[in-house]
Amino acid sequence: MNVNLATNLLECDAQGLTDWCAERGEKAYRARQLLRWIHRAGVADFTQMTDLAKSLRERLLSEAVVALPAVLQDHVSADGTRKWLLDVGAGNAVEAVFIPEAERGTLCISTQAGCAVNCRFCSTGKQGFSRNLSLGEIIGQLWWARHALARADGERVISNVVLMGMGEPLLNYDATLAALRLMLDDNAYGLSRRRVTLSTSGVVPMMDRLGEDCAVALAVSLHAPNDALRDELVPLNRKYPLAELLAACRRYLDHAPRDFITFEYVLLAGVNDSVAQARELVALVGDLPCKFNLIPFNPFPGSGLARPGRDAMRAFGEVLLAAGLVTTIRKTRGDDIDAACGQLAGEIQDRTRLAERAAATLRAIPIAQVPA
């Protein structure tokens, strides 16, 4: 087999598979069968696709592959958090993180190697931008995680997917959209739109397109209550300032599967964590239906930033709560996840601290329950 000529079917969406089959005179239902085998059943070996005609299987063996990104590391933390480091070529690696909870299991995936937005507090941004991930590299993270977490009783372990890993998903729109559609496709991963969340730093025109094309749940990284500060923290704000961003959030609600937008707000000591700034934030969002997810900053070397003390974070959250905004904040520091990061060795060590970041974003509890 000449692999160079073979089509990687992981790079095909439903239409792509239909086209591949049509070009070979195969009926459209064969494409649906392929979709089910590759994504729903998680089978990459054509010889196991028993209900395909033998002639088609032979053709697949010589003309196609299901090539997944290689797993460089697979790490399980004591608390059940699991992290995969996936090779995406040319010295680039991206992470996917699975976070099990009592009621749900959430997979956090990446959409770019590096990120061009360069937020002040983000280690991915500090790495610079390498490249967009392809459809196969994005959906491959879910494929691997499902495969690795498969249970004997067949029960689904991954109930939710969040695009909160490395990269800005709306700056890799086409591949991200194709991956989202596969996630929602009943012949592939069959997730509900409410259980797939895309997080963006605020690429306004693409938020509108997403609303039209594939309105999954939306999280918006706010991080500041005014343009002067947000210009510094999230440089994209200079292009799409807060008034435009909030207007785009309102428009998105017409399509959204949930009747609120989630705002993420990384708390940085002495930068954006004062009670006065919390009040400014309340005024900023006004009557926009939203929830706040306060994320204690995860420090990294050379950031020059610090996580606020618990009292400051609490006081900040209480201002939002008092204004009637549903607000969550991470409980405590991620105990053994630090160790997990430290255990990764070599050139491709975990500079992103993604597991910790993902845990901070996801393992949130109502601020009222934060121990004093």
Stretch that binds ligand SAH, among 35-43, 98-106, 239-247, 293-301 (CB under 6 A): 293-301
Pick from 141, 185, 181, 147: which is nearest to 164 by CA?
A: 141
Catalytic residue list:
95, 341
- Out of 12, 17, 21, 164, name the contact with ligand SAH by CB under 6 A: 164
Work out what residue 164 binds among ligand SAH, ligand SF4, none; the CB cut-off runs from 5 to 8 Å by kind.
ligand SAH
360 binding ligand SAH? (CB under 6 A): yes
Pick 10 or 108: Cβ nearer ligand SF4 = 108
User: What track of x and - describes contact with ligand SAH for positions 296 through 335 (by CB under 6 A)?
Assistant: -xx-------------------------------------
264 binding ligand SAH? (CB under 6 A): yes
Contacting residues for 147 by C-beta, under 8 A, at least 6 apart: 42
Structure tokens at 203: 């690429």
357 binding ligand SAH? (CB under 6 A): yes
**Dist. CA 206–CA 212, nearest whole Å:** 10
Work out what residue 298 binds among ligand SF4, ligand SAH, none; the CB cut-off runs from 5 to 8 Å by kind.
ligand SAH
**Dist. CA 211–CA 248, nearest whole Å:** 10
CB 65 within 8 A of CB 59: no
- Out of 92, 141, 176, 200, name the contact with ligand SAH by CB under 6 A: 200
Closest distance between ligand SF4 and the C-beta of residue 296, in Å? Answer: 15
3-state secondary structure of 68: coil
**Dist. CA 165–CA 162, nearest whole Å:** 8
Work out what residue 118 binds among ligand SAH, ligand SF4, none; the CB cut-off runs from 5 to 8 Å by kind.
ligand SF4
CB crowding 305-325: b at 16 or more within 10 Å, else e: bebbeeebbbebbbbbbeeeb
